[in-house]
């Protein structure tokens, strides 16, 4: 009898622990799906049935007339915010209540999570203000010759690929962007364009297609974050590789900038200045002014910044460019307009690709923005409420620690904001059309103080690579081409597709 009693109490305790917050949204009158102990409403993602973007898309469509939808990632209440005005409050107007992203675990156990993308609060603010100078217009112009060099190397490889019946364009653009990130970020020729099994291309694959053990630990963190006081979900191969790369570069440059104006130079310049100082985002003095704060930029922190520069740079750009090429292959009339735009601009610049020329390729720019609307690299933006907050014009108040999801993919494919949203139509981004829309219904790079710091670099790099490709090559569907690309259910940060983007590549007639 005693054993039965103990088992009953244990079962009840476990049940209570894993359901203790599952009434949060019901008490606030927010609609949500039925919960399951331990999983909440997150079970489809845990078992790799659907990505978080797909789950949010289904909920977004099911609750058409709601501004808010409740969700439970394990025992953590999350709020899907559909209304553009409320999204504006979160990302911009009331940023001080939603400055946290909630994507990191313990950076002591997983030092690569010291990156700008993952850190929170004062650490994020200090890093953001110090890293911003890496992305000025002058820095972008100085990088452009490196982009041209990468594009020229790519052209030689693509010539050979025209002899094949098909090739995965997703892989091709990943090789190009990896090469570019190596040149502009690390000052290294990575040879990923000529060698699809190069060290850095393999490292990129490992970052976004980790072993099953790491995948399961990552999704387990969503359900039981308390466990990660004791264990780590990081990949030691990636950690060791990035650390070795940075330490070698630092030593080769004699621990100081060498005038390349790349990302490593910026980090070494920051290191030479010593302590980073600024105003606190989280702490205030009695008179209401922010406290002065400071931090040391050590080797682990610098390695983490290099990691996110590499990972975010190549993955998002290769996703965006390959998806655009896929849409052009399926829309030959639009594909004819894009190279015409490129050729007309290049004719004014002696047929040479340069920074100023790419900036004038309006139709190519509109086509890229339209592809980012249809398939944004980040399907969902994440924030965490940092103080008790009432949404303006509503009676909904949420507590600190509640996570917020902004359904970027769903909003950008909503017929309320884009007529016939599944149609690929670059003209949606004519200036007069953009003016008609709410600013917060197009968010592929986020918005507000925590918007993507590398937006301009990524956009310019993507346009340059596309201009070089589409000026000399055309694309058409192959036997394996899918009309609709199938999202990978395990891709929960940057969206990926199953089976790549296979297409037939052809040389253009001069």
Count the neighbouring beta carbons within 10 Å of the beta carbon of residue 107: 18
Q: Which of 124, 404, 409 is nearest to 278 (CA)?
A: 124
- Separation between Cα atoms, residue 255 and residue 247, nearest integer Å: 9
Alpha-carbon distance of 363 to 426, in angstroms, equals 7
Query: Cβ–Cβ contacts within 10 Å for residue 472, how many?
Result: 16
Q: Kindly state the helix (H) or strand (E) to which residue 298 belongs, with its residue range.
A: none
Residue 402's nearest CA partner among 423, 424, 386 is: 386
DSSP codes, 196-246: TT-HHHHHHHHHHS--HHHHHHHHHHHH-GGGGGT-----HHHHHHHHHHH
How many C-beta atoms surround the C-beta of residue 352 within 10 A?
Answer: 8
Rounded CA-CA distance 311/185 in Å is 11
Length of the chain: 510
**Is 7 annotated as belonging to a binding site?**
no
Question: Between vectors from CA 375 to CA 167 and to CA 463, what angle results, nearest 5°?
Answer: 65
Angular region, 254: left φ>0, alpha ψ -120 to 50, beta rest: left
Residues 364/370, Cβ–Cβ less than 8 Å: no
Point out which residues pair with 279 in neighbouring strands.
292
Contact 359, 477 (CB under 8 A): no
Residues 6+ apart with CB under 8 A from 407: 53, 56, 57, 60, 80, 81, 82, 379, 380
Rounded distance between C-alpha atoms, residue 363 and residue 369, angstroms: 10
Q: Which residues are annotated as a binding site for heme?
A: 452
Q: Which residues are annotated as a binding site?
A: 452
């Amino acid at each position: 009898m005693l054993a039965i009693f103990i088992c009953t109490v244990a079962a009840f305790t476990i049940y209570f622990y894993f359901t203790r917050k599952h009434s949060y949204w019901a008490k606030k009158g927010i609609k949500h799906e039925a919960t399951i102990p331990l999983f909440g409403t997150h079970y489809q993602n845990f078992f790799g049935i659907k990505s978080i973007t797909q789950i949010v898309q289904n909920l977004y469509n099911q609750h058409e007339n709601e501004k808010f939808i409740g969700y439970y990632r394990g025992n953590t209440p999350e709020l899907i915010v559909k209304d553009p005005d409320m999204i504006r409050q979160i990302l911009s107007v009331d940023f001080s209540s939603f400055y946290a992203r909630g994507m990191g675990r313990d950076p002591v156990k997983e030092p690569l999570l010291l990156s700008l993308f993952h850190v929170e609060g004062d650490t994020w603010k200090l890093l953001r203000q110090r890293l911003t100078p890496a992305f000025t217009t002058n820095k972008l112009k100085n990088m452009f010759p490196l982009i041209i060099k990468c594009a020229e190397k790519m052209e030689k490889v693509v010539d050979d690929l025209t002899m094949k019946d098909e090739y995965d364009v997703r892989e091709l653009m990943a090789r190009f962007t990896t090469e570019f990130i190596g040149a502009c970020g690390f000052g290294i020729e990575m040879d990923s364009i000529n060698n699809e099994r190069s060290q850095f291309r393999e490292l990129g694959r490992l970052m976004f297609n980790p072993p099953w053990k790491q995948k399961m630990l990552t999704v387990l963190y969503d359900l039981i974050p308390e466990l990660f006081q004791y264990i780590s979900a990081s990949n030691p191969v990636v950690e060791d590789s990035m650390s070795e790369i940075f330490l070698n570069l630092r030593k080769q440059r004699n621990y100081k900038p060498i005038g390349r104006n790349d990302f490593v130079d910026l980090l070494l310049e920051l290191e030479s200045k010593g302590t980073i100082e600024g105003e606190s985002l989280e702490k205030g003095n009695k008179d209401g002014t922010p406290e002065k704060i400071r931090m040391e930029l050590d080797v682990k922190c610098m390695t983490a910044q290099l990691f996110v520069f590499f990972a975010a740079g190549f993955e998002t750009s290769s996703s965006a460019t390959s998806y655009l090429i896929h849409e052009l292959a399926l829309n030959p009339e639009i594909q004819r307009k894009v190279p015409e735009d490129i050729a007309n601009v290049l004719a004014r610049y002696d047929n040479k690709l340069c920074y100023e020329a790419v900036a004038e390729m309006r139709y190519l720019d509109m086509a890229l923005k339209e592809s980012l609307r249809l398939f944004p690299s980040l399907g969902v933006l994440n924030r965490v409420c940092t103080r008790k907050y009432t949404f303006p014009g509503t009676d909904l108040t949420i507590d600190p620690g509640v996570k917020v999801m902004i359904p970027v993919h769903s909003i950008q494919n909503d017929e309320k904001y884009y007529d016939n949203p599944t149609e690929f139509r670059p003209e949606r981004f004519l200036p007069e059309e953009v003016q008609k829309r709410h600013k917060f219904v197009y968010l592929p790079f986020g918005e507000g103080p925590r918007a993507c710091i590398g937006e301009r670099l990524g956009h310019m790099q993507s346009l340059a690579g596309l201009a070089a490709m589409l000026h000399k090559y055309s694309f058409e569907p192959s036997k394996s081409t899918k009309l609709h690309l199938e999202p990978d259910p395990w891709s929960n940060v940057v969206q990926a597709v199953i089976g790549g983007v296979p297409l037939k590549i052809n040389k253009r007639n001069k």
